[in-house]
Amino acid sequence: MNFRPWLILFVLMTASLSGCFGEQKIDDGGVLAPYDAYPDPWDRSEMLYDDSDIYSRVSVNGTYEIDAVQSVFVSVPTITAADGGAGLTGGAEVHLGLWLPVIEGCDWTSANLSADCQVPVIAEVGPYYNDGDVDALTPADRLGKFLIENYVPHGYGVAQVSVFGTGESNHCMDLMGTDEQRGIDAAVTWLGTQTWSNGKVGLIGKSYDGSTPWQAATFGNPHLATIVPMSGLIGVHELMWRNGSMEARGMIMHNGVYGSFGVDGDVEDSENLCEGYLEGYFNGPAAYLSGGMVDYAGNTYWTERSFLDRVVENYNGSVYIIQGMQDWNVDPHMAFPTHQIVEAAGIETKTLAGQWAHDYPDRKSGHEGLPSGEGAEAYPYTLRWDWADEMLYWFDWYLKGEGRAPMLGVEMQDNRGGWRFESTYPAEDTFYLEIGAADMNPSGASMVTTTETITLTYGPFDEDVYIAGMPTFHIPITPHTANGAHGYLEMSDDSGMRLGHAVMDFRFGDGGRDGGIALVPFSTVLGQMEFMPMDIFLEAGESIHISMTQTGQDYIPSPAAAGGYSINWAGATMTLPLVNRTCADLFQAPMHDYGGESGRLC
């Protein structure tokens, strides 16, 4: 299938990208740039980086020694009897481990310290200290050790903080509820008001630890200067529901997954039996049945755990989002359109989005084992050995006011390994190609039940193309039973390699988390499905294929979905976000020789 004639001018602008990206082999001729050069990402390909550890290292080590760890308990007076738990017994507090640099002439116990003795703090906040990991006083392999060894010698304090109900923190495991949020805010305030602090705090972490920065930013705390959420949640409901469709873990996330955190056989176990924990038992099943946030009758369980709106309203710092585009644990819709929403609020924002899974940008062990269609084709170009430097440049600017302002925007990697920089994402020059059903060649049944699959094909493309953003698929469906319509789309290329997916409970046909409707049997609704964010390179001559089933991967069909639904193909449309990019738009991250070649070559 060729483009319509009026689209040919657009695609002819795209030069061939075949052979556009090669493996960089660093040798003795590599250039080690001075620390104060602050090279942009596209200027680092010839730099030498240490790849001998499990994580990246700064290219120039700091000069300060690392002082002994301090154990600190921070009081949280905003937790009262109404919150249960430690609010009833009094003395709610969060625990943290703190590492400071050894600076000559600076006594950290002094009440009066000069500006030369004051340092900013980088903190990782989460539930895993003593629960599936080391305690908060031991550098954690997942991130704390990386932060301590790279940044304390450069004049930073580093803190590992346990959320309520975990580690040595008391009170309740609140699963990102308002109690947990207040505990995090108290830790930020404490770190920003000590005599040795310069008043600026940055939060960084991945997964749950990447969600606590978003929680902290909801308060507008004046000491919180920057956050770096990596695969972090902008909300708990947003993680497990998309367009009314629930992941398998949705009903048990609070009590089944995190319910045992903080329960360790001591006298404080009873403090975990407070409001948020008990509410988790019924809010998971209730959200599955409704598909929405169950915010009626005064129930605020999910709205309390939704962060982005309050961040936009209250936060005064910067944001650096890091996201795996192949992350099935915390899907990339946590990053897009979040980037544009935060950016539009006037918040200085950058995103680093690579073709890795639920991982850090620099962990070879996690990147190298990904399957085809889920990151394998982009490896080893996914590895960012410059990440420690990247974070140092970011923290120096936003926590110390040193260096130069980072380039804001999006570093995006496509599924074949090519990196490029976009001022925002989707890019401002995105061309939205609308495709009617007649050009999609549907094959198979016109009805979807638990067993049938419908396949659609579009192509071949006349020129190389990038599908960059969130494609949409609008499809009229007619349910055969009440509330019984659920769709799962998977896009693949000619080889069968997965490119992306979309999911919808058609009670939420307009998309989003609000406005669920009761479907009426044999009454047609328009399902406005949107694919997860994707960045896909296709060569000229390739086609895309879409399979439509009732459900797929880890999503659960709607309640009473067995009746299935029929499709009116005449009213269906697909829209592809396309951008015109060439070899000149690609840059190469610092590479090492891993043997062999993969990805496309330039």
Residue 313 to residue 528: CA distance in whole angstroms: 28
CA angle 472/340/291 to nearest 5° reads 50
Q: What per-residue confidence (pLDDT) applies to 450?
A: 58
| Whether the predicted pLDDT of 517 surpasses 90 | no
pLDDT at 350 over 80: yes
pLDDT value of position 33? 43
CB atoms within 10 A of CB 24: 16
What percent of the chain has pLDDT above 90? Answer: 62
User: What would the two tokens of residue 116 be?
Assistant: 């030369």
Taking the C-alpha atoms of residue 485 and residue 564, their distance in angstroms, rounded to an integer, is: 6
Tell me the backbone φ, ψ of residue 313, rounded to 5 degrees: -80, -35
CA angle 440, 575, 453 (to 5 degrees): 45
Looking only at the bridges linking them, the beta strands covering 534-538 and 465-469 are antiparallel
43-51 mean pLDDT? 87
Q: Report the pLDDT value the prediction gives residue 8, as an integer from 0 to 100.
A: 31
Of the listed ranges 71-75, 396-400, 549-553, 577-581, the one predicted with least confidence: 549-553
Residue 38 to residue 483: CA distance in whole angstroms: 56
Distance between CA atoms of residues 388 and 384, nearest Å: 9
Q: Cα(265)–Cα(269) distance, rounded to whole angstroms?
A: 6
| Region 535-558 average pLDDT | 88
Contact yes or no for 331/501 (Cβ under 8 A): no
Flag whether pLDDT at 520 surpasses 60. Answer: yes
Q: Which of 321, 325, 283 is nearest to 300 (CA)?
A: 283
User: Mean pLDDT across the stretch 342-371?
Assistant: 96
- The pLDDT value recorded for residue 21 is 34
- pLDDT band at residue 561 using 50, 70 and 90 as cut-offs: low
- Using left for φ > 0, alpha for ψ between -120 and 50, and beta otherwise, residue 91 falls in left
Q: What is the 3-state secondary structure (H, E, C) of 400-450?
A: HCCCCCCCCEEEEECCCCCEEEECCCCCCCCEEEEEEHHHCCCEECCEECC
Distance CA 362, CA 377 (A): 17
Q: Please tell me whether residue 455 adopts helix, strand or coil conformation.
A: strand
For residue 403, what are its two tokens? 């260096």
How many residues does this entry show for the chain?
602
Q: Could you read off the pLDDT of 406-434 as tens digits, one per residue?
A: 999 999 999 999 999 999 999 999 999 99
Q: Enumerate residues 6+ apart whose C-beta is below 8 A from 518.
A: 482, 483, 507
Evaluate if residue 264 carries a pLDDT over 70: no
- What is the four-CA torsion angle of 404, 405, 408, 413, rounded to 10 degrees? 20
Q: Of 432, 526, 510, nearest to 470 (Cα)? A: 432
494-506 in b/e burial notation, b at 16+ Cβ within 10 A? eeebbbbbbbbbb
Helix (H) or strand (E) segment spanning residue 534: strand 534-538
pLDDT value of residue 409: 97
Q: pLDDT for 360-416, tens place per residue?
A: 999 999 999 999 999 999 999 999 999 999 999 999 999 999 999 999 999 999 999
In this predicted model, what pLDDT tens digit does every residue of 2-15 receive, in sequence order? 333 333 333 333 33
Q: Is the pLDDT of residue 260 over 50?
A: yes
Q: What is the mean pLDDT of residues 81-94?
A: 89
pLDDT, the chain, mean: 87
pLDDT the model gives residue 355: 98
Could you report the per-residue pLDDT of 13-41, keeping only the tens digit for each?
A: 333 333 343 333 333 344 444 455 688 99
Mean pLDDT of 466-485: 89
Confidence band of 555 (pLDDT split at 50, 70, 90): confident
Residue 108 tokens, joined: 């950290």
> Which pLDDT value is given to residue 269?
66
* pLDDT score of 17: 34
How are beta strands 318-324 and 349-354 bridged, if at all? parallel
The mean-pLDDT minimum among 21-35, 480-494, 560-574 falls in 21-35
Q: What is the pLDDT of residue 15?
A: 34
> Where residue 257 falls among pLDDT bands split at 50, 70, 90?
confident
Question: Residue 503 — pLDDT band, cuts 50, 70, 90?
Answer: very high
- For residue 553, the model assigns a pLDDT of 79
Handedness of CA 457, 458, 464, 469 (dihedral sign): negative
* CATH numbers and ranges of domains, the chain: 43-422 (3.40.50.1820), 431-583 (2.60.120.260)
Q: What is the pLDDT of residues 303-334, one digit of tens each?
A: 999 999 999 999 999 999 999 999 999 999 99
pLDDT at 563 (0 to 100) = 66
Q: What is the pLDDT of residue 20?
A: 40
What is the model's pLDDT at position 131? Answer: 82
Residue 271's pLDDT is 67
Q: What is the DSSP letter of 539?
A: -
The answer, yes or no, to whether residue 283 has pLDDT greater than 50, is yes
Angstrom CA distances, 170 to 123, 175, 266, 395, stand at 19, 14, 11, 31
Q: How would residue 442 be classed by pLDDT, with cut points 50, 70 and 90?
A: low
Asked whether the bond before 222 is cis by omega within 30 degrees of 0, the reply is no
